Chains A and B, each alone.
Chain A
Amino acid sequence: MSEQMSDDDERQQSPPSDLDFTSNKARTCIVTGSVSGHTEFQSPYPDQVLENVLENVLHFLTSRRDRNTASLVCKSWYRVEALTRSELFIGNCYAVSPARATARFTRVRALHLKGRPRFADFNLMPPDWGAHFNPWVLAFAKACPWLEKVYLKRMSVTDDDLATLAESFLGFKELVLVCCDGFGTSGLSIFVSKCRQLKVLDLIESEVSDDETDWILCFPEGESHLESLIFDCVEYPINFEALERLVARSPSLKKLKLNRYVSIGQLYRLMVQAPQLTHLGTGSFSPSEIAGQGDQEPDYVTAFAACKSLVCLSGFREIIPDYLPAIYPICANLTSLNFSYANITAEQLKPIISNCHKLQVFWVLDSICDEGLQAVAATCKELRELRVFPVDAREDSDGPVSEVGFQAISEGCRKLQSILYFCQRMTNAAVIAMSRNCPDLVVFRLCIMGRHRPDHVTGEPMDDGFGAIVMNCKKLTRLAVSGLLTDKAFDYIGRYGKLVRTLSVAFAGDSDMALKYVLEGCPQLQKLEIRDSPFGDAALCSGLHHYYNMRFLWMSSCRLTYQGCQQIARAMPRLVVEVIRSADEEEMDVCVQTLYMYRSLEGPRNDAPKFVTIL
């Protein structure tokens, strides 16, 4: 968003400066309250007073949308807003350069960057496409040494970058890496050893390579400021004794998410040290192999009962269901429960879920079947977010969950705001029911795993179901569609999906009309990702009026040609149009395998790999 405002800003450089001066004077009058004679009075630095006041006021403005708007009022507001912005969010790291960002926002404390497009997570793009953190860390190291927090999603971070972070920012406090890669345990070691003020280190679904360095041991001795340590994605053993000592000397620790190499016995020892935890990732939740037969099992129930503040529970990476009863004491307090790595049955779930009256977020595997979902619907009346993942993520697997569980959820969990549901069978009726029962839905992502699968009762396309969702769920901003869909479904989306910002489409639609409906009908559309759908150059052209308002458009395995994409690139100079091939394809073909285009103030990037051609 901030890039868009910059765009507009540049066009507004043209207003004459006397206009600016007049408006400043007028504002000074308002500020001091007196009217007469004020235009003659030479206050020392009227702009200075204004700016001081503005600065004080704008410090309170936190929403970035509000800030973007404020920065457009006039030059002086632009300047002051830039000085007072402490959190900088950049939704596409290539939309603006580090130099430009640091030049405008000089006092940033927190940086939030997003890199690769989401479809890269599904191997639809060769690795090493880009999104390197390196130029950012170097630029900020020079220009904003008081940076305290960095949040990265889908970026490539190297060990050197981690070292730079730790060495250049003395007060560095929080590092959150989501779906990142490129670094290893040696980078982590340097980072933790040098960041003496570290409060948060969250590694979430990131790929951490094993350089055989003991990074847990590298946390400095003495009392630590750690409040959150999340490393459940690290796929290597860690030094447990060192971790135990670390937890013991971290009195502020509230969030701890362990990886699967921590056994339940070890979990017990940690919980005993840290009953103040609010968020716990349990690690493997099974005993290590070394546990002897005769050893007495610790009292897990008491350990859980002692954690009176525990509200968020996850982990269970290698669960032995026999140990599940240990968590009974805290079920009633839980607001978030993540069983999405626990292959448990409905019978094993029921005693747990029947106590989770306060649950708001629930992630689970489809192993619980429709019956398990019915149990959820019966108890979890406060549920806001549900994600049901497949144990067996293949098109032709048996589906243990269906429209039955889906409908049960819609009837039981009326406050539902966000749903992600993988299944093999669905009906329009169930989807329509959800659209009526859950009017608060903001995120609706339904993945019928078999491609082009119709309503399995009527044989009809799934158009009416998704149509009902966009019609009835008036707050909907994110939609992912699947199943057999004709152009009609997209007609509905264009007509009723007025707030939709993110749309994901796969194997859907009949013709260019479908894409046209969406591009012409959805004014809030920011992120559009499409794969394997029959949309061609003509459809692409129908969005020319809108592409500058979008963060990106992704289209892979559609009907685009090189010429069509070039036309767009010529028509829109501030759009970066990337054509991406598979890594082993040498030449440019007439047909475009993948198009990824995004607005940018910087023009084509200079770090594009061989398989990317920028038009």
Chain B
Amino acid sequence: MEVGRKMANMLGTDDDLNFKETELCLGLPGGIAVVAAGNETESSSSPKTNGKRGFSETVDLKLNLQSKESTMDLNKNLDDNGSKEKSGSAKDPAKPPAKAQVVGWPPVRSYRKNIMANQKNSSEESGNSGAALVKVSMDGAPYLRKVDLKMYKSYQELSDALAKMFSSFTMGNYGPQGMIDFMNESKLMDLLNSSDYVPSYEDKDGDWMLVGDVPWQMFVDSCKRLRIMKGSEAIGLAPRAMEKCKSRA
């Protein structure tokens, strides 16, 4: 028994190394290398728990499915001697190795995990990792939604996503790169008049701007929340938006 267990341990340890390499990870590719190399684990990115609450819930869900699959597989082989995890790793190398991260382990509440993940995000200088979750409200809709701006690469993609979320919303004709031409006042007015709804956003300065006034990446960095407002209301924003645009140029 003792020898067998020690064997399992040794194999287990080896497999741990393998797990790291073969681990399917939902974070950035650089994540794993940092963890393996670093002593400063507290500040290194955590591939699995990046992002705000919504995101990590998604991650958890995915893990749940995978963990369920592996335990279902092993459940079917009731003659196995060792425990599920051990048998998966030690006795049957033909099976895929058990996931290194298991649902609900270590037993830290998601509440706490989310807070630690949020702290990590806000302390990172690059600000490139993690989700950019912003609230989206639509005038007349009874509920708020949240989108992760980092999931989209262009205004068009964002527009499609918003259209799916709020089925009565369609973005007007935004020109070739999806940007509004603020320089041309009449064109702007046409756009606002023709759309039922227009997306606006609150930027870092707290100002409400029309979506599409800056290049996409700049928008992602400065957008704090989105509001889909009626075109007629948005006209009120236009002058200020144009001012800001002109002052930038």
- Interface of chain A, main secondary structure: loop
* CB neighbours of B53 from chain A (8 A): 235
Number of interface residues of A (CB under 8 A): 57
- Interface with B: A18-26, A118-126, A544-552, which one? A118-126
Decide: A396 near B107, CB < 8 A? Known: A451-B102, A582-B68.
Answer: no
B93 contacts the other chain (Cβ, under 8 Å)?
A: no
Residue in A212, A582, A591 whose beta carbon sits within 8 Å of that of B144 in the complex? A212
A343 contacts the other chain (Cβ, under 8 Å)?
A: yes
Number of interface residues of B (CB under 8 A): 50
Decide: A452 near B111, CB < 8 A? Known: A343-B119, A486-B5.
Answer: no
- Interface with B: A138-146, A165-173, A387-395, which one? A387-395
B222 contacts the other chain (Cβ, under 8 Å)?
A: no
Contacting A at CB under 8 A, from B59-97, are: 60, 64-65, 68, 71-72, 75-76, 78, 82-86
For B48, B65, B105, B116, which residue has the most chain A Cβ atoms within 10 angstroms?
B105
* CB neighbours of B115 from chain A (8 A): 317, 341
Contacting B at CB under 8 A, from A430-475, are: 447, 449-452, 454, 459, 461
**Is B104 in contact with A119, judged by CB distance below 8 angstroms?**
yes
* CB neighbours of A343 from chain B (8 A): 42, 116, 119
Chain B window 116-136, contacts with chain A (Cβ cutoff 8 Å), 1 for yes, 0 for no:
100100100000000000000
B156 contacts the other chain (Cβ, under 8 Å)?
A: no
B215 contacts the other chain (Cβ, under 8 Å)?
A: no
**Is B38 in contact with A398, judged by CB distance below 8 angstroms?**
yes
Decide: A532 near B83, CB < 8 A? Known: A123-B110, A396-B16, A422-B106.
Answer: yes
* CB neighbours of A390 from chain B (8 A): 106, 108
**Is A451 in contact with B116, judged by CB distance below 8 angstroms?**
no
A519 contacts the other chain (Cβ, under 8 Å)?
A: no
B168 contacts the other chain (Cβ, under 8 Å)?
A: no
Decide: A123 near B60, CB < 8 A? Known: A392-B46, A396-B20, A591-B76.
Answer: yes
B158 contacts the other chain (Cβ, under 8 Å)?
A: no
A394 vs B84: C-alpha distance when bound (angstroms): 20
B172 contacts the other chain (Cβ, under 8 Å)?
A: no
A557 contacts the other chain (Cβ, under 8 Å)?
A: yes
A443 vs B121: C-alpha distance when bound (angstroms): 34
A394 vs B6: C-alpha distance when bound (angstroms): 24
Residue in B72, B86, B107 whose beta carbon sits within 8 Å of that of A506 in the complex? B107
B150 contacts the other chain (Cβ, under 8 Å)?
A: no
CB-CB nearest in chain A for B86: A452
* CB neighbours of A452 from chain B (8 A): 9, 12, 83, 85-86
Decide: A122 near B109, CB < 8 A? Known: A210-B144, A395-B100.
Answer: yes
Contacting B at CB under 8 A, from A152-184, are: 179
**Is A534 in contact with B83, judged by CB distance below 8 angstroms?**
yes
CB-CB nearest in chain B for A560: B75
CB-CB nearest in chain B for A535: B83
**Is B104 in contact with A123, judged by CB distance below 8 angstroms?**
yes
Decide: A122 near B103, CB < 8 A? Known: A394-B48, A397-B35.
Answer: yes
Chain A window 576-611, contacts with chain B (Cβ cutoff 8 Å), 1 for yes, 0 for no:
000000101100010101000000000000000000
**Is B5 in contact with A447, judged by CB distance below 8 angstroms?**
no
A532 vs B53: C-alpha distance when bound (angstroms): 26
Nearest CB on A from B103, distance (A): 6
**Is B42 in contact with A447, judged by CB distance below 8 angstroms?**
no
* CB neighbours of A121 from chain B (8 A): 107, 109-110
Nearest CB on A from B92, distance (A): 15
Chain A window 530-571, contacts with chain B (Cβ cutoff 8 Å), 1 for yes, 0 for no:
011110000000000000000000000101000000000000
A512 contacts the other chain (Cβ, under 8 Å)?
A: no
CB-CB nearest in chain A for B60: A123
A507 vs B102: C-alpha distance when bound (angstroms): 11
A447 vs B83: C-alpha distance when bound (angstroms): 19
**Is B85 in contact with A507, judged by CB distance below 8 angstroms?**
yes
Decide: A591 near B75, CB < 8 A? Known: A233-B111, A390-B108, A395-B101.
Answer: yes
CB-CB nearest in chain A for B108: A393
A398 vs B84: C-alpha distance when bound (angstroms): 25
Decide: A557 near B71, CB < 8 A? Known: A318-B119, A389-B112, A532-B85.
Answer: yes
* CB neighbours of A389 from chain B (8 A): 108, 112
Residue in A124, A392, A591 whose beta carbon sits within 8 Å of that of B41 in the complex? A392
A389 vs B108: C-alpha distance when bound (angstroms): 8
Nearest CB on B from A289, distance (A): 9
* CB neighbours of B65 from chain A (8 A): 582, 584
| Chain A to chain B contacts (Cβ below 8 Å), 18 pairs | A121-B107, A123-B60, A179-B109, A210-B144, A233-B111, A318-B119, A341-B116, A343-B116, A393-B106, A393-B112, A395-B101, A396-B35, A398-B38, A447-B106, A449-B105, A486-B1, A510-B83, A534-B82
Instruction: Write the residues of chain B forming the contact surface with A, with a CB cutoff of 8 angstroms.
Output: 1, 5-6, 9, 12, 16, 19-20, 35, 38-39, 41-42, 46, 48-49, 53, 60, 64-65, 68, 71-72, 75-76, 78, 82-86, 100-113, 115-116, 119, 122, 144
Other A-B pairs, 18, CB within 8 Å; known A122-B103, A392-B116, A452-B85: A119-B104, A121-B110, A179-B109, A205-B109, A393-B49, A393-B112, A394-B46, A394-B106, A395-B105, A398-B39, A449-B106, A452-B9, A506-B107, A510-B1, A510-B83, A531-B104, A532-B83, A584-B65
